[in-house]
Structure formats: structure tokens, C-alpha cells
Amino acid sequence: MPSRLIPVLIVFAAVPLGLLVAVTLDWLEERELRRAERRARLSRAQHRPGPAHPPQT
């Protein structure tokens, strides 16, 4: 195998690997953001002063 071919093979192997890592990190970050948003929405719903006791008139 000519030594000129080795860097080309490394690049061809690294590009899909880099794309896979980037997509995975993006997906993890998106999942984390969705989880935090859901948690914030749940905590807001729990602490919202609702009409538990209707006003006495």
C-alpha cells in the first residue's frame, strides 16, 4: 500500500466518525433540554396557586 494512501484513508474514516459524534452530542443536548423544560413545566404546575379553595363570599 503506498504511504500516500494512508492519510486519505484516515480522513475518509474520520469524517463519518466526526459526523456521528456531532450528531450524537446534538441529540444528547436536545434530549437534556427537553427534559429540563418538562421538569420546569411540571414544577411550575405544582407550585401554581390554583383554585384549591374557592374564595368565600
**Predicted pLDDT at 32:** 95
Tell me what percent of the residues of the chain surpass a pLDDT of 70.
79
Please tell me the total number of residues recorded for the chain in this structure. Answer: 57
Q: What amino acid occupies position 1?
A: M
Q: Which ranges constitute the DSSP H helices of the chain?
A: 5-47
Question: Three-state DSSP class for 4?
Answer: coil
Query: Is the entire prediction scored with pTM above 0.75?
Result: no
Model confidence band, residue 54 (pLDDT cutoffs 50, 70, 90): low
pLDDT over 70 (residue 50): no
